[in-house]
Amino acid sequence: MAGKLGWIDRRRLVQLLGAGGGAIAAGLPSRVFAQTRKNTLVLGIDISDTITLDPARLAQYTSPMTVSAAYDSLVTMKPGEYINLAPSLATKWARTPDGKGWRFTLREGVKFSTGNVMTAEDVKWSFDRVINLGDQPSQYIAHVDRVEIVDKSTIDIILKEPAEPLLTIIAAPEFVVLERKVAEANGASAAKDAKTADKAAQWINSNSCGTGAYRIAAWERNQQIQLVRNDHYWGGKPPYERIVIRHISDGAAQLLAVRRGDIDAAFNLIPEQIAALKSEPSVRLAPLASLDFVYMALTQEPEFNKALAVKEARQAIGYAIDYDGIVKSMLGGAALRPAHFLPIGVSGSTEEIARQIAFKQDLAKAKELLATAGFKDGFEFEIAYGNAAVQGVTYQDLGLKIQSDVARVGIKVNLRPVDQVNLRTEYTTGKSKGGVLTFWNPPAVENQLWAAAVVQRVAKRVHWNPPEDIVKLVSQAATEPDPKKQAELWVEWQKRVVDQANHFILFQPVYQIAVRNTIKEFPLTAAGWMLDLHGVTPTG
Amino acid sequence: MSRYILSRLVLAVVMALLATLVIFLLANTVPGDPVLAQLGDLAASNKEFVAEWRAKWGLDLPLWQRYVIFLQQLLHGDLGISISSQRPVLQDIRDFAPATLELASIAFLLSLVVGIPLGIMAAMRRDSWIDHLARLISLIGVSSPTFWLAFIMLALFYGGLQIAPGPGRIDAIALPPTSVTGLYLIDSALGGDWDTFRDAAAHLVLPSIVLAAATLGLITRTTRASMLESMQQDYVRVARAKGIRERRIVIGHILPNALIPVVTLGGLAYANLLTGAVLTETIFSWPGLGRYTFRSAVTLDFPAIMGITLIVAVVYLFINLLIDISYALLDPRVVR
């Protein structure tokens, strides 16, 4: 009976098996989209972290890009310039006559996407909403006392602490202007009870009511965000009819899609994938210098580790790490390295300054410091890290690299992989027993946000009790009106915290974005929203 | 018979609730703090903000009380609000389930339509080229890691040969069909939008092949083994001795008996496809439940975890119930 195929013959079987392949060719859609594609910008990016597009509730990494395309803030930052602010909805700003706040002159004739003119009332209402909603963004303007309308084109933002920085913070897309009438019609509230009264979440997640170059038309979770041109945009006619921010979670799939031209830019490529694109004539690589940090924090709690409690022993670790090797070999050079928690590009932090004051590998000095610390033969400590990667480099690889570096001066590292949330729980509650490899990215570009954190909550995590003068130095630098003096104070602050040796900045990533040559201008920014979408233009 | 079904149903409900209890306890033993999975650095270090946040999500209540609240909500058909998406869990599941259902169903059909005939043929022509081919296909299907297979398929058919569309459910610049069921094939067909239908169908090909691979292998092997066993039975020998035509022996005598284990396996495999597509969904950027489940788990989003557990438990129990009932129908001894 084995000689017969029975009731299905060979030919039919082959047909059956081939059906899968056949379906691919037969099912391909006709290229009906070719025309639309010319007027549409498609970005390929992992947007799985997007949980809201409400400016007043923003706290994620990728959503600010969308929000900044649909809404404008009073002041903004131009790509590459993170110290001096640029005008946006405000054309001029100065201290209020009594010195207690800031006075903004609003741009004339700015229209919302509905065609209605923006008023001072809209600006005040938008700030009130952020404050009264009390969600995460409100934390960054906790020092704002109130917003006052002076006249129809002037508003004052009055501060509780007049010297505290404001402008750099409100440049972030959390602090943008919404059209009050439209927002309220869809459930928004800026009243004192906004926490419970505001019901706009659902509407505002798939629509927008801003003055930005594009308007949010739809958001299908984990699929795509659709933006359409705002014909009333005050900055001239935006070049694209539509923008699709397409969720592609996998870098390899992004690579294939950007090569084929299904997407115009790919945001999440790892070094190997970037290398594969170097020979691709239709795609170029655009550097996105971030203000993010990848760093190692080191506890100084003697109960956890006697050696780490000694400053010289921690400094020895700082001198043993091969930072250049991390940046050059592991990241292919696509990174910067600041001296401490002030990224290269902000006041008091340049590559030159970092070269002068940051730790660099010096094994002789490391050994000397070990001897001074009383650990001539080295010591042992653990490094904990999460299961994640930055720029394609896993924390595990970074841990292995540091392990082998410090072994050269006789320090033994035990690596301990931990789940991300558990790691963060341990770390932020001060329970980390040695080193922690982790990441920090800025919600707004303001030195004080980082520096104050370093001497307060970040210090607590490593059981460091900072001396009064270092704490004072932060507020002194943050409130110094003269830019040159301010930069000097920040340098001084960095020297002090580098010497303390609780944090070693391993690198500041420079992400590589693959952009097709159908795109001319692609203004990437480190200021927190990644890309000035209104400035993207097509070639030809 | 109806008493049998009723008792199984009651048992299924109890089992589903037990599953949620186990997961609830398990999820809460994790040392990580959901506050730190959800809040930014500044907010998470503000004690007042954190306290208010915990109260908002009921995380300040004792464990037993939280579970009781979960049960109370459940009685009202409410699965609570997801901490990370800040929407009702039920709405999240409703949004993400259709993508998974569509993909898993197509993958399941594919593995049946290919796997069963292949298994039958392999059994009937034992040790021939077709048996070897079937073995090779199932071996590849069962043993290739999903993420690898997914990427190879994408690189070959999308990147290299350029005959298949890329990741996602439809073309990047196409608009999804008006949502009725959430299943793109059905929605676009209902709307008579055949361009979108073709687009959605083409986007289903690669991920459904990848997802079907392992199941296909299992079904092929099981069908083959079961066929071989049935072919040795006395009643087959008798049938053959009676001079019945080979075709009738296969269809009328061997197959019905040989397919019983395939029914069991198929049911469980479908449940597995519905609930276990995380890797395929990741590589193909498929907006389904798998990704949602994964994200909920790593961010300690308790309401979402509970909701998904319940759904998964119900899917498995329902399919098991169907299998049990079909046993009872096929073999009356089970009921007694």
Residues B123-157: b if buried by 16+ CB within 10 A, e if exposed:
bbbeeeebbeebbebbeebeebebbebbbebbeeb
CB atoms within 10 A of CB A472: 12
pLDDT < 50 positions in chain B: none
Minimum-distance CB partner of A252 among B32, B151, B292:
B151
Report pLDDT for B256.
81
- Cα(A299)–Cα(A430) distance, rounded to whole angstroms? 8
Residues B264-298: b if buried by 16+ CB within 10 A, e if exposed:
bbbbbbbbbbbbbbbbbbbbbbbbbbbbbbebbbe
Interchain CB distance below 8 Å, B42 and A244: no
The answer to whether B84 and B301 have CB atoms below 8 angstroms apart is yes
Q: What's the CA dihedral at A122, A128, A134, A139 to 10 degrees?
A: 100
Minimum-distance CB partner of B173 among A33, A44, A453:
A33
| ∠ CA A189-A190-A195, rounded to 5° | 75
Interchain CB distance below 8 Å, B166 and A32: no
Taking CB atoms within 8 Å and a gap of at least 24, the contacts of B15-19 are: B15/B313, B15/B317, B16/B310, B16/B313, B16/B314, B16/B317, B17/B71, B19/B309, B19/B310, B19/B312, B19/B313
- Cα(A463)–Cα(A430) distance, rounded to whole angstroms? 7
Phi first, then psi: give them for residue A36, nearest 5 degrees: -60, -35
Minimum-distance CB partner of A253 among B40, B117, B285:
B285
Give A247's contacts in chain B (Cβ within 8 Å). Answer: 168, 285, 287
- Cα(A240)–Cα(A36) distance, rounded to whole angstroms? 10
Residue among B30, B38, B41 with most chain A CBs within 10 A, to mutate: B41
CB atoms within 10 A of CB A223: 23
Report pLDDT for B332.
63
Chain B contact present for A9, CB below 8 A: no
Report pLDDT for B336.
54
Report pLDDT for A413.
96
Give A51's contacts in chain B (Cβ within 8 Å). Answer: 84-86
Helices of type H across A329-389: 351-357, 363-373
Give contacts of B 51-90 with A, CB under 8 A: 52, 84-86
Residues A274-293: b if buried by 16+ CB within 10 A, e if exposed:
beebeeeeebeeeebbbbbb
Give B300's contacts in chain A (Cβ within 8 Å). Answer: 421
Q: What is the mean pLDDT of each run of 10 residues along chain A (540 residues)?
A: 40 42 41 67 92 91 94 95 94 94 96 96 97 92 95 96 91 96 96 93 94 95 93 95 93 92 93 88 92 94 94 96 94 92 93 95 96 94 91 92 96 93 88 93 85 91 93 92 94 95 95 95 92 93
Minimum-distance CB partner of B298 among A20, A256, A420:
A420
**What is the nearest CA distance from B181 to chain A, expressed in angstroms?**
15
Chain B contact present for A1, CB below 8 A: yes
Distances from the Cα of A126 to the Cα of A55, A115, A201, A474, B238, angstroms: 10, 18, 15, 30, 86
Residues forming beta bridges with residue A390, ordered by sequence position? A393
Give B46's contacts in chain A (Cβ within 8 Å). Answer: 139
Distances from the Cα of A402 to the Cα of A389, A395, A397, B74, angstroms: 16, 10, 9, 50
Question: Per the structure block, which two tokens stand in for A237?
Answer: 């006619």
Cα dihedral sign, A95-A99-A102-A106: negative
Report pLDDT for A19.
41
- Cα(B43)–Cα(B51) distance, rounded to whole angstroms? 11
- Cα(A483)–Cα(A488) distance, rounded to whole angstroms? 9
Report pLDDT for A7.
41
Strands (E), B111-214: none
